[in-house]
Structure 1
């Protein structure tokens, strides 16, 4: 394996980590309007419980996206440039949604007003649903290929990106992230909130299985290779097991298996893409590959040494954060403040 191939794997790992960790953040935000609705708990209290489950970790999870984007820019500048030339509008919408979500979470407690908090809550919902859908649409189009000309410019229109395969990818990421978030809520909450999260997860697992199954099967048949059938089996088997585990209220195992499903699916996308990084549907000669889109060997070499020293530090620190804030959160742990009250 040469340095370009190594950095393709590193970029894939960074996006796997992002979707795995940010996936349950998105899911929690997506479910904020409905979680605990039938429990009789005041809306503000149950929403604060939901926010506290991700409060200590959500911003750290987003670092994976920043790192993935930086690695993509440095290791594969042509891939980065072509991607943004053709996916500018959807990526801009994702960025705006993420900014709205960040501002809503951080500023929710700044004004002691119910109307203000409701607007912030809807900002969190918007900032969770939109990226959850559009990331699936974007990555499905990357695997499927777009119209790239000889100048490495994407000439497809925005509406060309809204093809059936990409829309199925967007529906898949939305459903799986919502399921992942519901299971995480059940794992991290107590009392009535936990019970309601378990019930939501059990209901979400039913549509998530056929939709995600159809997407990974389509990906495998159209773009996969022989060995990637293993990833299809892992993703499908994990989601099928989640259906039973959520009904048994085994949220720990259910969360482990939604994680397996996400890791397997994202790995399948990158494995189906290799050795291309952006296939061209106009002419295979115009496709960007690991070889023709990468930086110089010197640049990749320096990046490799930096990553070798820094990556373990970042992973250990984030793991320590999850360990410190591992306890469940109950309604009794929420104080009078309307903001995030991180409990350990």
Structure 2
């Protein structure tokens, strides 16, 4: 397999990991004002992702760095053409991170709750808008420079993609909270999971269907079907109280959705409305030497990172409660 294809697949894997792990973080933030009724419950919601949220964001940093190193032309075109949406995502992530770190140190908890909510909702929506445009194609000139405007990116298909990711991540986050909590908070998370799951099936199903009808491949029809089946299975498992199975199903759906998008994208990395101006894994790639060095570095350090993050989730695997005794004995 060519190294350009290897790195395209690796970048797809990095984005998949980011959406699966950071996806439930976004969902938890979106659900905060609708789920937590008092300060004790709000603190419990924050504690659910407290030990892992910053590690989950590392997947985004690595995905961006890998894109810059492996496909510099793709990186340049993407970050110049999508500058404003990506800048808004960055501001939202900063506000969200500050809220998570400083809420417990401040008396103005409501302000930090708003920052956490909007800092989760905006990226959850805009990532769908961005990837929908990437897959659909954008106006590029012969020098691979973006020639559209912000309104070009806010087309109906892209907005549907934003709704699809927002509802999917909200569903994923609700299932995660049901898995990590007990009592009334778990019951509320289960109720919201059923509502968000239904919205995700409708919005995500419509988005995947339009994506496949607009040039889907045989393999991506399969992954789109797996994504739909995963969402439906998560709904059934949630209704049955099988939180672990429901979380596995929503994670599988996110993996399948991401595979569908990247599967339809390849061998392009930034398709243009005029195919002659498209960026591909060949004309956007770094030199073979650069890709070779990166491959060795990834082969050495990626297993270490995966083992460390897996250990973190194992340590903080218990359900959370406001019981003082349980706090004392939880990891």
TM-score interval for Structure 1 and Structure 2 normalised by the shorter chain: over 0.9
Runs ≥4 residues deviating over 3 A: 333-336
Higher fraction of helix = 2
Report what 1:108 is aligned to. 103
Report what 2:288 is aligned to. 297
Gaps of 5+ in 1: 38-42
Give the deviation of 1:130 after TM superposition.
Answer: 0.2
Report what 1:130 is aligned to. 122
Aligned partner of residue 269 in structure 2, secondary structure: strand
Give the deviation of 1:18 after TM superposition.
Answer: 0.1
Give the deviation of 1:238 after TM superposition.
Answer: 1.0
Give the deviation of 1:187 after TM superposition.
Answer: 0.2
Relative to structure 1, the CA distance from residue 29 to residue 342 in structure 2 (aligned partners, 3 Å threshold; closer, same or farther) is farther
The answer to whether the aligner puts 1:153 opposite 2:145 as a matched pair is yes
User: For residues 314 and 242 of structure 1, what CA distance do their matches in structure 2 show?
Assistant: 28
Give the deviation of 1:3 after TM superposition.
Answer: 0.3
Report what 1:17 is aligned to. 17
Higher relative contact order (CA closer than 8 Å, sequence separation 6+): 1
User: For residues 106 and 222 of structure 1, what CA distance do their matches in structure 2 show?
Assistant: 43
Do 2:223 and 2:257's aligned partners in 1 also have CA atoms closer than 8 Å? yes
Report what 2:313 is aligned to. 322
Do 1:108 and 1:117's aligned partners in 2 also have CA atoms closer than 8 Å? yes
Do 1:3 and 1:301's aligned partners in 2 also have CA atoms closer than 8 Å? yes
Q: TM-score, normalised by structure 1?
A: 0.94
Over the aligned positions, Cα root-mean-square deviation in angstroms equals 1.5
Give the deviation of 1:36 after TM superposition.
Answer: 3.9
The answer to whether the aligner puts 1:168 opposite 2:163 as a matched pair is no
Report what 1:85 is aligned to. 80
User: For residues 62 and 333 of structure 1, what CA distance do their matches in structure 2 show?
Assistant: 30
User: For residues 325 and 209 of structure 2, what CA distance do their matches in structure 1 show?
Assistant: 44
User: For residues 181 and 207 of structure 1, what CA distance do their matches in structure 2 show?
Assistant: 14
Q: Which moved more, 1:170-179 or 1:204-213?
A: 204-213
Aligned pairs, how many? 331
Do 1:36 and 1:192's aligned partners in 2 also have CA atoms closer than 8 Å? no
Q: TM-score, normalised by structure 2?
A: 0.97
Gaps of 5+ in 2: none
Report what 2:56 is aligned to. 61
Do 1:56 and 1:342's aligned partners in 2 also have CA atoms closer than 8 Å? no
The answer to whether the aligner puts 1:310 opposite 2:305 as a matched pair is no
